[in-house]
Amino acid sequence: MNQDAVKGARQSLHGQWSSRLAFILAATGSAVGLGNIWRFPYVAGESGGGAFVIIYLGCILLIGLPVMMSEVLIGRRGRRNPVRTMAVLGEEEGSTRFWGLVGGMGVVAGFLILSFYSVIAGWSLAYVVESASGAFTGADSAAVQAVFGGLTDSVSRLGIWHTLFMVLTVVVVARGVQKGLERAVRVLVPALLVLLFVLLGYAITSGGFAEGAAYLFRPDFSEVTGGVVLMALGQAFFTLSLGMAAIMAYGAYLPEDTSIGSTSITVVVADTSIALLAGLVIFPIVFANGLAPDQGPGLIFLTLPLAFGDMAGGQFFATLFFVLLSFAAWTSAISMIEPAVAWMVERFDVTRAAAASVVGVIIWLLGFLTVMSFNVLSGATFGAGTIFDNIDHLTSNIMLPLGGLLIVVFAGWVMSENSTANELDLATPARYRLWRFLARYVAPVALVAVFLNAIGLF
Ligand code: PFF
């Protein structure tokens, strides 16, 4: 008989991960994606490097880790879609059903994030074809710029790749959490790691390594503004898939006897290592080629091809790299719509396939706002920049940290000590006290302080 039934715990309607490793792989698959390899280097480059990186690491440890543990524990305790889970637990813990709105905000954030994420993943798919056809072999900076410009200037080319990526995502989500996903991640994450090490080898010999590493790790705190701190916080949430209940949705499928503490730490360490590795690859190439670190979202697409174009076997490695990057984006995208799909299946009693299709079409349409931000609407700037920049800023820097704040307050203040201690089941009481201290005080205070600081009140 199933362990959960023995324990009398709730069961998720959507199935369960086959093992602890399966959950780690799925959560790592969600965390590791464009956020590590595309977003981290370009945001770090726009924010001045070293000091940003240190603040980002601080956010990961003091806020990201306790929030991740909170999401998993809430998800596993509720065993339903995030909206229902938060509503039910809110009531159960003597507060209100309105906590369900936090899950609802997560669903909305997932729609918005995937709308641009899919477009960027489309760049990666397009680069598979470019690499395979030898477009980067021996290419100089101008040639790489021409390839990138040719892609991003074209609504139809961007649109086609975005469409393909959305179809791939919907197909996997429609088939359920275990089939495909578990198997894909098992091969993908290690393969991506190996390839990053190959690139690291190139970066070390590129002539720009000392400068690149110094840029990444030597902090200049005089450059730090409220905006930089907010960016670092937003990046921490984005890269760990936190604040929008994606990890909560995955937590609902976690077997009862799995340790939430050690699985969360594993995911955080894997994700952070991959981001730092990506930074260590990109910046040396940037400096060795006399490029600017702050050139924005195109950064890796304008720098990595130079490295591939210059190395032996570069055509093969480039193709493989963009295939793996596309896979990494795919396993992240799947987790972004899981909250919405699980919610629709439970709420309207529709099939996963139907729910995934409806969600997919809405996000696909929204994605054209990002597609056009790089060409016909590139002049339409306000607030944080283009429409794409604004969707990114609103979700990463505002909705995710706000969602994270509410989630950690829920776990630390609304849920009883009994419930959380029980669910976390950490090895020693000291560890539980540490988590609770982070969840009740450190994370909420830090989150509020960063918000106030960013709007100039603190
Ligand atoms: N963590 C993913 C990445 O770094 O690419 C992006 C992401 C996935 C954000 C899932 C949010 C989310 F819910």
Q: pLDDT digits over 72-106, tens only? A: 999 999 999 999 999 999 999 999 999 999 999 99
Who's near 457: CB < 8 A, 6+ residues apart? none
**Is this model's pTM higher than 0.85 or not?**
yes
Q: pLDDT digits over 247-271, tens only? A: 999 999 898 889 999 999 999 999 9
Query: Please, are residues 184 and 24 in contact by the beta-carbon 8 Å criterion?
Result: no
Position 454 confidence tier, pLDDT thresholds 50, 70, 90: confident
- State the pLDDT at residue 5: 40
Compute the average pLDDT of residues 67-74: 98
Compute the average pLDDT of residues 135-163: 97
CA of 354 to the centre of ligand 1 (A): 23
Position 409 confidence tier, pLDDT thresholds 50, 70, 90: very high
Query: Please, are residues 407 and 102 in contact by the beta-carbon 8 Å criterion?
Result: yes
- State the pLDDT at residue 393: 94
Compute the average pLDDT of residues 286-295: 93
Provide φ and ψ at 385, rounded to 5°.
140, -130
pLDDT surpasses 70 at 180:
no
Provide the token pair at 318.
């480039």
CA of 1 to the centre of ligand 1 (A): 35
Q: Any residues with Cβ below 6 Å from ligand 1, and which?
A: 30-31, 33-36, 110, 113, 238-239, 241, 244, 246, 332, 335-336
Beta strands in 168-224 (DSSP E): none
Q: How far apart are CA 377 and CA 409, in angstroms?
A: 39
Query: Please, are residues 373 and 382 in contact by the beta-carbon 8 Å criterion?
Result: no
- State the pLDDT at residue 189: 78
CA of 31 to the centre of ligand 1 (A): 5
- State the pLDDT at residue 178: 65
From 67, 112, 239, 341, give the residue whose CB has the most ligand 1 atoms within 8 Å, as the site to mutate: 239
Provide the token pair at 444.
């909420």
Determine the residue type at 353.
Answer: A
Minimum-distance ligand 1 atom for the alpha carbon of 110:
13
- State the pLDDT at residue 457: 64
pLDDT surpasses 60 at 33:
yes
Percent helix / strand / coil, the chain, rounded to 5 = 80, 0, 20
Q: Is 24 exposed, middle or buried (0-12, 13-18, 19+ CB in 10 A)?
A: buried
- State the pLDDT at residue 2: 40
- State the pLDDT at residue 1: 32
Minimum-distance ligand 1 atom for the alpha carbon of 329:
5
Minimum-distance ligand 1 atom for the alpha carbon of 400:
11
- State the pLDDT at residue 11: 83
Distance of CA 225 to the CA centre of its chain: 24
Compute the average pLDDT of residues 199-227: 93
pLDDT surpasses 60 at 212:
yes
Strand partners, 385: 382
- State the pLDDT at residue 15: 79
- State the pLDDT at residue 175: 84
Nearest CA to ligand 1 atom 12: 241
From 107, 113, 338, give the residue whose CB has the most ligand 1 atoms within 8 Å, as the site to mutate: 113
- State the pLDDT at residue 9: 62
Q: pLDDT digits over 366-387, tens only? A: 999 999 999 999 999 999 999 9
CA of 334 to the centre of ligand 1 (A): 9
- State the pLDDT at residue 20: 85
Q: pLDDT digits over 1-14, tens only? A: 344 443 446 888 88
Compute the average pLDDT of residues 147-170: 97
With vertex at residue 247, the alpha carbon angle to CA 197 and CA 343, rounded to the nearest 5 degrees, is 135
Distance of CA 240 to the CA centre of its chain: 5
CA of 127 to the centre of ligand 1 (A): 21
Q: Flag the least confident range among 25-29, 293-297, 398-402, 452-456.
A: 452-456
As a whole number, the mean pLDDT across the chain is: 93
Q: How far apart are CA 304 and CA 324, in angstroms?
A: 14
Minimum-distance ligand 1 atom for the alpha carbon of 247:
13
CA of 24 to the centre of ligand 1 (A): 15
Position 177 confidence tier, pLDDT thresholds 50, 70, 90: low
- State the pLDDT at residue 192: 85
From 72, 238, 250, 341, give the residue whose CB has the most ligand 1 atoms within 8 Å, as the site to mutate: 238
Nearest CA to ligand 1 atom 7: 241
- State the pLDDT at residue 223: 81
- State the pLDDT at residue 3: 41
Query: Which contacts (CB < 8 Å, 24+ apart) does range 55-61 have?
Result: 55/224, 55/228, 55/229, 55/232, 55/233, 56/232, 56/235, 56/236, 57/272, 58/232, 59/232, 59/233, 59/235, 59/236, 59/446, 60/236, 60/240, 60/268, 60/272
- Answer whether CATH 1.20.950 is correct for domain 3-454: no
CA of 239 to the centre of ligand 1 (A): 5
Percent with pLDDT over 90 in the chain: 82
Give the distance between the most distant pair of CA atoms in the chain. 65
Nearest CA to ligand 1 atom 10: 241
Minimum-distance ligand 1 atom for the alpha carbon of 106:
13
